[in-house]
Amino acid sequence: MRARPGPRLLLAIPALVLGVALHPALAVDVSSLWDFHHPALSEARFREALAQAGPDDRLILTTQIARTYGLRGQFGEARRILAEIESGAEHGSPEVRVRWALEWGRTLASAAHDAQSETADNLLQARAQYLHAYDMARANGLDALAIDALHMMAFVDTKPAEQLGWDETALRLALSSRQADARRWEGALRNNIGYALHELGRYDEALAEFEQALALYQKRGDPEAIRAARWMVAWTLRALNRPDEALAIQLELETECEAAGSPDADVLEELEILYRQRGDGARADVYAARRRSLGG
């Protein structure tokens, strides 16, 4: 649950409303088909939706199919899929063009990439695609996609101060927008801002952002996002030398993760650190061993 949110955490992605039916006469609602925890399942949903989609919607769905491959680390396949529709996308609606640029950028720089794959050339190309997507989205009133593009810039400009600038710009847009899908970005953006502030050593400010993000996720009732947000709060409490509060939260998270059948290596690592700080090496060693058994 540590670090800048990615596909595992889902804090960089607004809460989704599942189960919304597609209608041939309406533009496709891709958010209703996404399950970012399960990219292969999402791909199957997108492919099924292709059968009743119009030309623009088919292009939009195909960009999301490509994204499912990126989330699985299959960036070459994602680019192959996007290349096949590049010509059609160039003549598609503004949403098609924005989504194509966003997804091409994500094949070059994203939370799913390792440091070795993010070459200087890839980062330069990703920057161009994200900024192009942002400009097109803003020009066409697609606020949520504009925010998406801004938040992706933090995977190109990776210094905490740079990330903070991009995320604060995105938050201002989210808060000023009248579009519900744009406003849903607030929790994710506050989490990202909190992370950048934490990296800058501004722990009090980071905690305030994490607590606001947590409150937003609690309103939505997303258990996994709530657990991840609580981990961020506890992580920052430890940095603020408030170990008892941090320990209480991490122990609760340990119990919840075990009950959900998904023990978390980052929770176990924090517990190891906290018990070592308390001088309880034996218990810390137990958590260290459990973490290693998970590959953490």
Residue type, 181: D
Distance separating alpha carbons of residues 238 and 236, to the nearest angstrom: 5
Residue 167 phi, psi dihedral angles, 5° rounding: -70, -35
How confident is the model over 29-47, as a mean pLDDT?
94
Indicate if the pLDDT at residue 6 is higher than 70. Answer: no
Indicate if the pLDDT at residue 5 is higher than 60. Answer: no
pLDDT of 118 reads 86
Q: Tell me the three state secondary structure of residue 64.
A: helix
Indicate if the pLDDT at residue 263 is higher than 80. Answer: yes
Q: What angle do CA 69, 80, 119 make, to 5 degrees?
A: 75
161 pLDDT tier (thresholds 50, 70, 90): very high
Q: Whole-number mean pLDDT of the chain?
A: 91
296 pLDDT tier (thresholds 50, 70, 90): low
Please answer whether residues 151 and 188 qualify as being in contact, where contact means their C-beta atoms are separated by less than 8 angstroms.
yes
28 pLDDT tier (thresholds 50, 70, 90): confident
164 pLDDT tier (thresholds 50, 70, 90): very high
pLDDT of 29 reads 85
Contacts of 134 (CB under 8 A, 6+ apart): 146, 149, 150, 153
Indicate if the pLDDT at residue 14 is higher than 50. Answer: no
37 pLDDT tier (thresholds 50, 70, 90): confident
For the stretch 113-158, pLDDT in tens is: 998 888 999 999 999 999 999 999 999 999 999 999 999 999 999 9
- Which domains does the chain possess? 30-240 (1.25.40.10), 241-296 (no CATH)
Q: What is the SS3 assignment for 42-95?
A: HHHHHHHHHHHCCHHHHHHHHHHHHHHHHHCCCHHHHHHHHHHCHHHHHCCCHH
Please answer whether residues 187 and 216 qualify as being in contact, where contact means their C-beta atoms are separated by less than 8 angstroms.
yes
Which of 202 and 21 is assigned the larger pLDDT? 202
pTM of the model: 0.88
Distance separating alpha carbons of residues 200 and 220, to the nearest angstrom: 29
Please answer whether residues 196 and 167 qualify as being in contact, where contact means their C-beta atoms are separated by less than 8 angstroms.
yes
Distance separating alpha carbons of residues 183 and 163, to the nearest angstrom: 20
pLDDT of 222 reads 86
